[in-house]
């Protein structure tokens, strides 16, 4: 359906197979989702993105759930269907309740609205907001 | 500079002046930023948006700082200069440290990258991600 | 300031000068705005876009003011600063009052909000909406 | 299919059921489209958005059909599939002919093109366009 | 499925049929893809766009494959599913190998990431970059 | 002006200073542009992005100039002012002539137009385009 086929386990290069093994180990499930099966055509990029996501989306300055919700917000504003689905699922897996989900949506919707108004009115940045 | 002039206090309708008084009271400062001065041309909308933001961006299912960072994320993906400046400033006012800010940016940047890759490859949504 | 310099009248190719003369004649003013001064580097494209806009933005199935407001709406969603300014100015020149302007903004803002909500929830298209 | 399930009539909270009754009464049809069935998870937001849309999209400074076409334009630039379908359907219901539809598309397409050119050339805003 | 039906050969106006004949002749195939079948509702625009694309996407200052890849890049950033599919297919038809495709995606993904970072940090344009 | 201050050479951490030295060496100039001065607040990310860009934007499956033009195309569709300026400058430094620049813009503008039309008509993907 996509512009690149999804690779099955038996199609993987050794480098890609190694990343898949790490994904399975870290997540404690045999299921590897379609993004990784598409990225596996480019094993170097697959490795780089997996290594970065593994660290970045774990505990850090912000907690993992907050980061998943930020990911959802970016994906909505970019109209990335797959990304919205996958990161909403991961946010739920990390503890997002239905009530938190609805509030996340309310913030995104309101941000979209005021973004549109501000852009339409071309409001100048207040001096006090500049770093 | 914008497409609507910024209203000064002496230009406000009584309805708009009332909202400005509430903004000043809630924030504990005399400073009212440019977004409200542009919105004041439409006092009904000004009232509606202020009433909603006041509740929505306060404590709820998500904490106020998380909500400001979600707002920043949407604003970046929408390229809304004013919104990025104003909500980054508000996130800092609500406790975002420089280290948290840099991690927020890292998540946004990575989300933009994987959004682009997913969109370019037109990855199909995994059945397990659907509600 | 831009990525291509703005051409002055004395820099124009004969083909570009001819288009500028038509712009001046149709608009009844000597002022030619910056978009045309940038496009003039590519006289063939300048001619094509001017010829199309001249017809498309005049009276047709929709009235000229409606078309300018649609242009503003697209430009806001695309975050095109110059386009928002120039088409807001042209909408005003074609009769958009301040009250109409504020209602245009309210529609754009509300459309942005519900777009965000719909996208975040990934609402399926109702069968009745399909052509 | 989405990230939130669509609520059936029997799943609605009393507050949501009341909004659905108003939608049915105003539109003179029993059919309630999917957007409202998804929003019904958040009855407070459902109420707020319905109350606003009901007024905003009716007669005002601009006529209802013009406002639907502006809604379509925003939705196209935001790539919101559902929104494009639902507001195109509503524009047709409010009198948009096929010829008007094609002209609407032509304006949107041309606006997208000149938005891209202006952004790529980073054309500076003319002083005369500033409010 | 769309908002306008796809026209079959027997539905075409004479003007549209003429464009279809040219598409078939130039491409050496009887297959005419859905974009043209939708555009055929507006024969004047169909003619204009076909005439422009025919010249623009052929050999010129840039080679045809480079131009298809640029088209893909714009389509990804605009989240245009159809456009990504059709121009990826045309890029492959013009010689894009799988390895070139993956590098194209890597550049798009990285551009998306640094676009997000730059926008979030609101980096000022260096004087040396201005034309 | 931005949301993070630009770091001067004397403000850099040792890790950031090392990256700056590599940028200067590779480019053969003492000038380090503002993007890197903003990124330097996050030395780990600075290192990662510099290491990736250095390899990715050099010779590979696609030539370096083609990759810069693809970068410009993404940046235009994302409305990233800084990115458009910096990658247009780098494309010129790698050999893009004024005529090539104008053709790049023509392709971007036309892609924006047909993206808008396709999205507005919600054209279904042809089976032959699927991988």
pLDDT digits (tens, 9 = 90+) for A25-70: 999 999 999 999 999 999 999 999 999 999 999 999 999 999 999 9
Determine phi and psi for B23, rounding to 5 degrees.
-60, -45
ipTM of the complex: 0.96
Place of tokens 């990390």: A94
pLDDT tens for each residue of C34-61: 999 999 999 999 999 999 999 999 999 9
Cβ neighbours for C19, distance < 8 A, ≥ 6 positions apart: C36, C40, C43, C46, C47, C50
Q: What distance in Å separates residue B25's CA from the closest CA in chain C?
A: 26
Picking from E3, E74, E80, the nearest residue to D88 by CB comes out as E3
Nearest chain E residue to C5 by CA: give it: E131
Query: A70 and B104: CB-CB below 8 Å?
Result: yes
Please provide the DSSP assignment of chain F as one string. --SSPPPPGGG--HHHHHHHHHHHHHHTSS---HHHHHHTTSHHHHHHHHHHHHHHTSSSSS-HHHHHHHHHHHHHHTT-HHHHHHHHHHHHHTT--HHHHHHHHHHHHHHHHHHHHHHHHTPPPPGGG--
* Listed residue (E73, C83, F115, F106) closest to D118, CA to CA: C83
State the CB neighbour count (10 A cutoff) for residue D80.
27
Q: How far apart are CA A106 and CA F46, in angstroms?
A: 34
Structure confidence at residue A25 (pLDDT) = 97
Chain length of chain A = 131
Contact D41, B61 (CB under 8 A): no
Q: Which residues of B touch F42 (CB under 8 A)?
A: 102, 105-106
Q: How far apart are CA A70 and CA F107, in angstroms?
A: 33
* A121 touching chain B per CB within 8 A: yes
- As a whole number, mean pLDDT of residues D55-72 equals 97
CATH (one of 1.25.40.80, 3.40.50.720, 3.50.50.60, 1.20.1290.10) for F1-56: 1.20.1290.10
Helices (H) and strands (E) in chain E, counts: 6, 0
C 71-110 residues with CB below 8 A of D?
71, 73-78, 80-83, 85-89, 97, 99-100, 102-104, 106-108, 110
- As a whole number, mean pLDDT of residues E111-119 equals 97
Q: What is the 3-state secondary structure (H, E, C) of D80-115?
A: CHHHHHHHHHHHHHCCCCHHHHHHHHHHHHHHHHHH
C106 sits in which H/E element: helix C98-121
Q: How far apart are CA D114 and CA A10, in angstroms?
A: 48
State the CB neighbour count (10 A cutoff) for residue E73.
32
Structure confidence at residue E1 (pLDDT) = 65
Name the fold adopted by B61-122: AhpD-like (1.20.1290)
Residue range(s) of every CATH 1.20.1290.10 domain in chain A: 1-56, 60-131
Q: Is C30 helix (H, G, I), strand (E, B) or coil?
A: coil
In our burial notation (b when 16+ CB lie closer than 10 A, e otherwise), range F46-70 reads: bbbbbebeeebbeebbbebbbbbbb
Residue of E77, E95, E101, E131 to mutate when probing chain F, most F C-beta within 10 A: E77
Residue of D2, D52, D114 to mutate when probing chain C, most C C-beta within 10 A: D114
pLDDT band with cut points at 50, 70 and 90 for residue B131? confident
Residue range(s) of every CATH 1.20.1290.10 domain in chain D: 1-56, 62-131
Residue of E102, E115, E119 to mutate when probing chain A, most A C-beta within 10 A: E102
E·F CB contacts under 8 A: 211
Q: What distance in Å separates residue F39's CA from the closest CA in chain B?
A: 9
Q: How far apart are CA D10 and CA A46, in angstroms?
A: 46
Query: E45 and D85: CB-CB below 8 Å?
Result: no
Structure confidence at residue B48 (pLDDT) = 97
Q: What distance in Å separates residue A76's CA from the closest CA in chain D?
A: 10
CATH (one of 1.20.58.110, 1.20.1290.10, 1.10.3210.10, 3.40.47.10) for E61-131: 1.20.1290.10
Percentage of chain A modeled with pLDDT above 70: 99
Both structure tokens of D45? 């937001």
Query: B3 and C88: CB-CB below 8 Å?
Result: yes
- As a whole number, mean pLDDT of residues D12-16 equals 98
Q: How far apart are CA D94 and CA B94, in angstroms?
A: 46
Question: Distance from first CA to last CA of chain E, Å, rounded?
Answer: 46
Q: How far apart are CA B26 and CA B54, in angstroms?
A: 9
Residue range(s) of every CATH 1.20.1290.10 domain in chain B: 1-56, 61-122
* Listed residue (C62, F117, A97, E119) closest to D100, CA to CA: C62
* Listed residue (A84, A72, D48) closest to C114, CA to CA: D48
Residue B129 DSSP one-character state:
G
Picking from B99, B112, B117, the nearest residue to A61 by CB comes out as B99
Both structure tokens of F14? 């040792």
Structure confidence at residue D62 (pLDDT) = 98
In our burial notation (b when 16+ CB lie closer than 10 A, e otherwise), range A84-119 reads: bbbbbbbbbeeebeeebbbbbbbbbbbbbbbbbbbb
pLDDT band with cut points at 50, 70 and 90 for residue E131? confident
Nearest chain A residue to E104 by CA: give it: A42
Please provide the DSSP assignment of D26-38 as one string. HHTSS---HHHHH
Nearest chain F residue to A125 by CA: give it: F1
Nearest chain C residue to B125 by CA: give it: C122
CA dihedral F15, F17, F18, F19 (to 10 degrees): 90
State the CB neighbour count (10 A cutoff) for residue E45.
21
Q: What distance in Å separates residue F115's CA from the closest CA in chain D?
A: 8
Residue of F1, F2, F3 to mutate when probing chain B, most B C-beta within 10 A: F3
Structure confidence at residue F8 (pLDDT) = 97
Residue range(s) of every CATH 1.20.1290.10 domain in chain E: 1-56, 61-131
Name the fold adopted by D62-131: AhpD-like (1.20.1290)
In our burial notation (b when 16+ CB lie closer than 10 A, e otherwise), range C75-112 reads: bbbbbbbbbbbbbbbbbbeeebeeebbbbbbbbbbbbb
Contact E122, F2 (CB under 8 A): yes
Residue-averaged pLDDT of chain F: 96
Nearest chain B residue to D131 by CA: give it: B3
* Listed residue (A32, A3, A2, A6) closest to A19, CA to CA: A32
Nearest chain D residue to A112 by CA: give it: D78
Structure confidence at residue C131 (pLDDT) = 78
* Listed residue (A109, B69, B45, A118) closest to D44, CA to CA: A109
Residue B42 DSSP one-character state:
S
Residue-averaged pLDDT of chain C: 96
Q: F58-61, long-range: CB within 8 Å, 24+ apart, which pairs? A: F60/E103, F61/E97, F61/E99, F61/E100, F61/E102, F61/E103
Both structure tokens of D16? 């949501």
Nearest chain D residue to F77 by CA: give it: D116
Half-sphere exposure of F117 (CA within 13 A, CB side): 25
Q: How far apart are CA F18 and CA F44, in angstroms?
A: 12
Q: Which residues of E touch C3 (CB under 8 A)?
A: 131
Q: How far apart are CA F46 and CA F16, in angstroms?
A: 7
Name the fold adopted by A60-131: AhpD-like (1.20.1290)
Please provide the DSSP assignment of chain E as one string. --SSPPPPGGG--HHHHHHHHHHHHHHTSS---HHHHHHTTSHHHHHHHHHHHHHHTSSSSS-HHHHHHHHHHHHHHTT-HHHHHHHHHHHHHTT--HHHHHHHHHHHHHHHHHHHHHHHHTPPPPGGG--
């Amino acid at each position: 359906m996509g512009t690149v086929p999804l690779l099955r386990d038996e199609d993987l290069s050794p480098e890609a197979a190694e990343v898949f093994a790490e994904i399975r180990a870290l997540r404690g499930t045999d299921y590897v989702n379609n993004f990784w099966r598409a990225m596996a055509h480019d094993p170097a990029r697959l490795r780089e993105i997996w290594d970065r996501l593994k660290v970045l989306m774990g505990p850090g300055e912000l907690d993992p759930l907050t980061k998943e919700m930020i990911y959802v917000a970016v994906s909505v504003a970019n109209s990335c269907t797959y990304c919205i689905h996958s990161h909403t699922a991961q946010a739920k897996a990390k503890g997002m309740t239905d009530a938190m989900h609805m509030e996340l949506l309310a913030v995104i919707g309101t941000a979209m609205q005021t973004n549109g108004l501000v852009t339409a009115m071309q409001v100048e940045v207040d001096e006090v907001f500049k770093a």
